[in-house]
Amino acid sequence: MMEYHLGDACQNTFVLFDRLNASFLDEAFLQQAHQSLIEEKKDDALILFDGKVEGDAFYARMSVLGLDGVIAEFCGNGARVCAAYLFAKFPHFESFFLKMQKGTYPLAKHSDEIYSVKLPLAKFTRNTKFIADPKSFDTFTGFAFVDMLEPHLILQEKLSDKELLELGRRLNRDKGLFPYGINVNAWHILGNGHLYVKTYERGVQRLTQSCGTGSIACAASYQSAGTVSVSTPGGPLEIAFYADGVELRGAAFFFCKNRKERVG
């Protein structure tokens, strides 16, 4: 039986595997991890591997495996669960970084269960990897495409859960336009600097309680500087914009599957 932990970030749920002593992930392990994800009925599997000490900092790679069995580009809430795990496992280190294919991202602990990851700024140019026919996308009135490491379609409109679920399913069936699927976020303004965001996630193939990169995508459409508070069905997030990037901050924790002991 594979050993793993369970993680939570604004009720975005995960199974977390520690493979820090391994330099790569083989297919047999990924299949077993996917099976554990299905059995636990969580949103994604997080796999930390290739852990290395560089100076006074600890670096690790993160792989995000979806319920669809596909490796995702990134996961903002998952990164914060990994932060909770790394800060607890290696208390003698003060600096932690996640190495991903597109960059290296610093993690931070702010207080008990409050963690953040700093990421590059959102891009609003259409990524042809995720939108196969940009001209056809012009017919999608009201939608904006945002590349926030993960691909997002955002819509400033109040939608019911049923409406968003049906929309997400319909768009993700269109493999001619969205060959790798697409995250869909509906958002609206609650007040000055305060948004409400809910998400259909492509890798989970349903609505989730929260999405970190989706919340950033919506906040970046709302404003490009300062701080934005985001309410999601699973809890609050704080997004801070800087000249060189954006920080996603919020609650995250993990616990050992057998002991149910919460750590964060």
- Residue 238 CA to residue 249 CA, distance in Å, equals 5
133 exposure class (CB count in 10 Å sphere: 0-12, 13-18, 19+) = middle
Q: Which CATH superfamily is domain 5-119+250-263 in?
A: Diaminopimelate Epimerase; Chain A, domain 1 (3.10.310.10)
d(CA 218, CA 239): 10
Q: Which residues contact 102 (CB under 8 A, 6 or more apart)?
A: 73, 74, 120, 149
Which regions of the chain carry the CATH code 3.10.310.10?
Answer: 5-119+250-263, 134-243
Specify the pLDDT at position 259.
56
pLDDT tens digits in sequence order for the chain, 264 residues long: 588 999 999 999 999 999 999 999 999 999 999 999 999 999 999 999 999 999 999 999 999 999 999 999 999 999 999 999 999 999 999 899 999 989 999 999 999 899 999 999 999 999 999 999 888 888 888 999 999 999 999 999 999 999 999 999 999 999 999 999 999 999 999 999 999 999 999 999 999 999 999 999 999 999 999 999 999 999 999 999 999 999 999 999 998 766 556 776
Which CATH code of 3.40.50.300, 3.40.50.180, 3.40.350.10, 3.10.310.10 fits the domain covering 134-243?
3.10.310.10
Q: How far is CA 156 from CA 28, 29, 82, 113, 126, in A?
A: 42, 40, 31, 30, 18
**Residue in the structure block whose two tokens are 């610093």:** 106
DSSP 209: S
Res 133: pLDDT = 87
Is 109 within 8 Å of 87 (Cβ atoms)? yes
- The DSSP result for 11-33, as a single string, is TEEEEEEEETT-SS--HHHHHHH
